[in-house]
Structure 1
Amino acid sequence: MKKRRGLALLLAIMMVMLAACGGTGNTSNTRNAAESAPPSGETTGNGGDAKGQVGEQTRKEPVTITFWNYGNTITDTEFNKLIVEPTKVKYPHITLERIKTDADTTPEDLLSTGQVPDIIYTSSGPSYYRFLDIGIIQDLDELIAKHNVDTTRIKPAILESIRSFTQEGKLIAIPLSFNLLITYYNKEIFDKFNVPYPSDEPQTWEQWLELGRKLTIQDNGVQYVGVDLGGPSNIVRSLDVGNVDTATGKSTLASEEWTGIYELLKKQYEIPGFIGSNNEIGYDRVTFMQDRRLAIRPAFLANMVGPLEELKAEGIDLDWDIAPAPHFGDNKVGGSIHSVILSNQGKHLDDAFLVIANILSDETQRLVARNGRVPSIVNPELEKEFGADVSVLQGKKIENVFKLEAKPNNPPHPLDNQLGEVLSQAAEEIALNGKDVNSALRGAEEESNRIIEAWEKTRP
């Protein structure tokens, strides 16, 4: 309760500061409309077209829109190529200014300095809840109607996922791309141990585990790890179960889905040589890219493509390729949504909306695809251009990115980050302390429910 009262006080201070600078979001919008109105006698563009493009008024007064990244990565190159340049072409009166902060800067830290970004770039998940709790997310539905934006262009799985974060099903973000899971494999290790490369047909998690077993080998003092399936929070993206039952408000860890996930992990931990000499039970991209002793790694596209590109730029070649993501027999793959949200305290709300709505244009989404991100709109033609401008993806099996059906995110909950830590602790109990799956899950379920109940008591 103290934390929420503190946050409420912070927001109250911020509102006073904003009022002193020229008014609330409503009065700012009125001022913005006046500033953006064309001079007398000039005409304006239409409100949009059938493809969801946002119309624009001619010869508007210049405005500066601030942009802040929280929780995921967008390089300066990507920011300029995917956001700044498309905006300048369509809306030359808008200048985008990036707010740069340390990686550990929280939204509360930023707001305490008096800075309220117009646009926030983040991922779907707990980040959405964080900004909803602070109270600065702008509901986009009215702006979408006002500017005649066609949201049916957004992939249904993405649209459903974004709307699931509010009980009213509001659209609170515009998606830039869908960060899907994919399977990376090091061909050098397969060659070293004379194991055939993975199939280009989708394989189940169990099949990937069995293939990895063949490559978990110690050779000349080096322990090679055949596969790291990732932790429980990674694997569950292939299923339709969240951390909290939306009907009961209780933990879902007693379900068959979670039992199956931990039984799979137990088999992984039991492979001789999988658990490291320092009790490692998980292996990151460094083990794959630099140590070169992890053969197979299911991971997000954005987690690996950029670093692999940087590795190549350093003159270090790694012989790798991609296969379809693991699944549970239904050929479905999960991911996260890289998206932008608007602050409801911005001084130029309509102009900021024009910036983010332009992300859904065919032109911008083509840039998204060509730069190694999965487009957020329904346009199969764009998939053919995936990775065309990324040197490290040349010659790779790009078609394997799209062989599974992208599914909506699992039912979200504000406590997903904290409950995810409980999931990891249960995995450690199985891997390092020899607990059986049922015992580990019972303990994790009790701890999860304790966290949920404590949180419920703090809610208004």
Structure 2
Amino acid sequence: MMRKLGSVIVILLVIALISACGGNNDAPASKNDSTTAAATSNSSQEKADFKKLGDEPLTLTFYSTGATFTDVEFEAMIAGPIHAKYPNVKIERITPAATTTPEEVLSTHVPDIIFGSVQQRVIRTGVYQDLRELIKKHHFDESRLKPIGYGYIKEITKGQGDAVLALPFNINQHVLYYNKDIFDKFGVPYPTDKQLTWDEAVELGTKLTRTENGVNYIGLAVDNLTGLSKSLGLPYLDRETGQAALDTPEWLRVFELQKKILEIPGYVTPDGTWNWTRDNFMKDQNIAIRVSWLANMVGPLEELRQQGVEFNWDIAPAPNFSDQLGKTREAQIHSIAINSQSPHQDEAFQVIAEILSDEGQRIIAKNGRVPSIINAELEKDYGAEIPVLQGKTVQNVFIGEPIQEHYIHPYESSISIRLTEAAEDLAVKGLDVNSAIRKATDAINKDVETLKTTIGQ
């Protein structure tokens, strides 16, 4: 038996040698051989790219547009973690003057990575690289991304065909911030983890709006008409025509609620001050309740803490209309993208993939941002490493379902000032709700006609 087996082995070896030496080396490879060779080549190329990120000195530049992203957050969520994992890689932030437009920045700089909300004005510059090939090349799993984030990016970029111009970095949700010291001062119980209706929030705000020792305490600040409209996900402009979209029952509800807030006794001061902002809550500390974005407040509050300014505040769920309870407000999607002119697109994508990994998203959760990937475990880590959130009721961030952001028309940022003017008309000029809507509609439509001639459809 062993002798027969030895003979078989010898015969097989002879056949193999004949095939190797006498085979036709010029013959085309079989389909399977070609596939294997291509796969090996691709694998080698990918390994070379990853080696380049991991071993060679590399500096990538980063630009943030259209979203709050402090230097502290940039270091904690992006630059620091990437450099810790890849010591040879540095990510440097481009910080232009505050008055510089994105178009001006992008015409003079070539940032490798672009962060922020996906804006039509930036899309028009052609700066966003279509990521489809990089997604495929680096085997990035798109199914891990939350539909509320990735779906919105695809919706806002529909005019670019099937191009994937960005990936979601975080889901920017709304919460109710409240100053415990003001509640204590006036003996009013704190908000709980129960989502308030807007009527209940106005009633609470009324109890906390008063003047004492020359200080105007304001009970409820809501980011005005633009903020309130996010409870219902309302567009400012008709998507097809570009005309004002304010003449609807939903916008009427928003205007009526804005008027009700403005009419709280003491809300509008004798000198006509009515537009209460983040600085009033954080620095002046005369706002009892502010309903706003997470990203708009958490990072700046941490920066303020590092400057030695602290006060006693906490978080509750964002209010909504009584028939919308269970939902909060629109979720703004902060995205991360690659410059189409970047010479380091492979490396930049690897950085993005690292940021969107489970570990990368755990880091942003710990630093106060809601992750963009599907992993409920990360909610448990929310705020764990940002000192300003220690002791806060951070679980209230996740009470209520955010809704997908409305389609941002290319002209929206240019005409949003008309909504601020409308709120001012309600606050200090005595206009009724219907008159304010008509005036804003006329002003917006005139703006749109001008914009059509300057920047086109």
- Normalised by the length of structure 1, the TM-score is 0.83
The reply on whether 1:121 has 2:115 as its aligned counterpart is yes
CA change 1:166–1:225 in 2 (3 A) is same
Name the residue aligned to 1:16: none
Q: How many residues align?
A: 410
Letter in 1 for 2:50: E
User: 2:389: which partner in 1?
Assistant: 393
Could you tell me which of 223, 227, 238 is aligned with 1:230? Answer: 223
Q: Match for 2:407 among 404, 411, 414?
A: 411
2:133 pairs with 1:142: yes
1:182·1:324 contact (CA, 8 Å) conserved in 2? yes
**Which letter maps to 1:158?**
G
Identify, as 1 or 2, the structure richer in helix.
2
CA drift of 1:98 comes to 2.7
Matched, 1:378 2:384: no
After superposition, what is the alpha-carbon deviation per residue over 1:245-268, rounded to whole angstroms, capped at 9, x for unaligned?
Answer: 224442210011111111001111
Please state whether the residue corresponding to 1:337 is helix, strand or coil.
strand
- Superposed CA deviations along residues 58-107 of structure 1, whole A, max 9, x for unmatched, are 77654432222223343444333322344345556644233332222223
Instruction: Give the distance between the partners of 1:117 and 1:274, measured in 2 at CA.
Output: 44
Match of 1:245 among 232, 235, 238: 238
* Residue ranges of structure 2 left out of the alignment (5+ in a row): 1-39
Code of the aligned partner of 2:333: I
- The within-5 A match list for 1:251-330 is 251-328=244-321, 329-330=324-325
State the Cα deviation string for residues 319-376 of structure 1 (Å, max 9, x = none).
Answer: 1111001223242222322222211111121111111222210111000000111111
Deviation (angstroms), 1:400? 0.4
Residue type of the partner of 2:171?
F
Measured at CA, do residues 94 and 41 of structure 1 come closer, stay the same or move farther in structure 2, by a change above 3 Å?
farther
Shift of 1:382: 0.6
Residue 381 of structure 1 deviates from its aligned partner by 0.7
Asked whether the equivalents of residues 220 and 289 of structure 2 are also in contact (C-alpha less than 8 Å), the reply is yes
Moved more, 227-236 or 98-107: 98-107
Given that 2:242 and 2:411 are in contact with CA atoms closer than 8 Å, whether structure 1 keeps it comes out as no
Cα-to-partner distance string for 1:369-419 (whole Å, 9 max, x where unaligned): 001111111111111111111112111111100001121111111111122
Partner of 2:101: 106
SS in 2 for 1:246: coil
Residues 41 and 123 (structure 1 numbering): CA distance in 2 closer, same or farther, change over 3 Å?
Answer: closer
Counterpart amino acid of 2:136? A
Q: Displacement, 1:135?
A: 1.4
Going from structure 1 to structure 2, the CA distance change for 1:395 and 1:89 (only over 3 Å counts) comes to closer
Aligned partners of 1:43 and 1:57 also within 8 Å: no
Q: Deviations 1:145-200 (Å, cap 9, x if unpaired)?
A: 22221112111111121112222364321222122111111111111111111131
Root-mean-square deviation (CA, aligned residues, Å) is: 2.5
Quickly say closer, same or farther: Cα 1:316–1:346, change in 2 above 3 A.
closer
In 2, distance between residues paired with 1:276 and 1:169?
A: 51
Runs of 5+ consecutive residues of structure 1 not aligned to the other structure: 1-39, 48-54
Instruction: Report sequence identity in percent.
Output: 45
Quote the Cα distance in structure 2 between the aligned partners of 1:274 and 1:281.
Answer: 7
Once the two structures are superposed, what CA deviation does each residue of 1:30-79 show, in whole Å capped at 9, x if it has no partner?
xxxxxxxxxx99974979xxxxxxx9347765443222222334344433
Aligned to 2:351: 355
- Normalised by the size of structure 2, how large is the TM-score? 0.83
Higher gyration radius (CA): 2
Q: Contact 1:179 / 1:373 at 8 angstroms: preserved in 2?
A: yes
Indicate the SS of the match to 1:87: helix
CA distance in 1, matches of 2:196, 2:65: 34
Secondary structure of 2:381's counterpart equals coil
Q: Is the 2:70–2:300 Cα contact (8 Å) retained in structure 1?
A: no
* 2: CA distance, partners of 1:161 / 1:56: 30
Describe the SS at the equivalent of 1:253.
coil
